[in-house]
A = this chain, B = another copy of it.
Amino acid sequence: EIVQAIEAALKQDTRLPAPEGLLASGGALEGLHVVVTSGPTHEPIDPVRYIANRSSGRQGHAIAAAAARAGARVTVISGPVALPDPPGCETIRIESARDMLAAVEAALPADIFVAAAAVADWRAEPAVDKIKKGERGAPSLSLVENPDILASVSRGPNRPRLVVGFAAETRDIIRHAQEKLARKGCDLIVANDVSEGTGVFGGAMNQAHLVSRAGVEDWPRLRKEDVAERLVARLAQLIGGEMS
């Protein structure tokens, strides 16, 4: 695996401070494949309208970059974001939740799956033509439940050894995260408060709680890059402990 990591590092663009940086940071995820989802999804309503959300992709992209720095081969499945692709990762851009699920399934098998994207729970059944204002006032938009990517991966035949979900909540953060952990069958939930005024959604900072069956770690308010470093360090510990 060390040979593979060095070979991989040597294949990288020489302008990147890759080989030394990679080995210096411990290469704690060397030889492992990490799949990360990031950003929002866009769900079409008709040819011009869509449902979106305020996810910037900053947290997911930072996790992908941190995992790559730790030596992992990283595949990022990203919704529409205004960010550059995270360095050292293979980035696949999609729009809708269904496209994201297909891209994730195509990227498996993996050792670690981090579902950081803010996937739309629902989509509208899209209209072929632009919906027009009628005489009878506003229509009601029928929503259809989207596939549950986290649960699909977590309960699927190619389940990675570590599956990490995110919970963006506006109240009862820890309780909702614990319920989500059980319902989705994943190993960890990174829970955060996205209520108005926190500036987490779309912002630079994050205050996270790491929820597992073992308990809850409350992390301080950190830059999203630092949350990413911490999370990758914990993932390396957990997967190292499992392998040893």
- Residue numbers of A with Cβ under 8 A of B are 42, 45, 47-55, 82, 118, 120-122, 129-133, 137-145, 168-171, 176, 194-196, 201
Closest to A168 in B: B48
A145 to B134, CA, bound (A): 11
Q: Which residues of B contact A130 (CB under 8 A)?
A: 168-170, 194
Interface centre among A49, A50, A176 (most CB of B within 10 A): A49
Q: Are A45 and B49 in contact (CB under 8 A)?
A: no
Q: Are A138 and B129 in contact (CB under 8 A)?
A: no
Closest to A197 in B: B47
Contact status of A139 and B122, CB under 8 A, knowing A54-B50, A194-B130 = yes
Q: Which residues of B contact A145 (CB under 8 A)?
A: 133, 137-138
A76 to B49, CA, bound (A): 22
Given contacts A47-B195, A50-B51, A50-B52, list 6 more A-B pairs with CB under 8 A. Answer: A49-B51, A51-B52, A52-B52, A130-B170, A138-B142, A140-B142
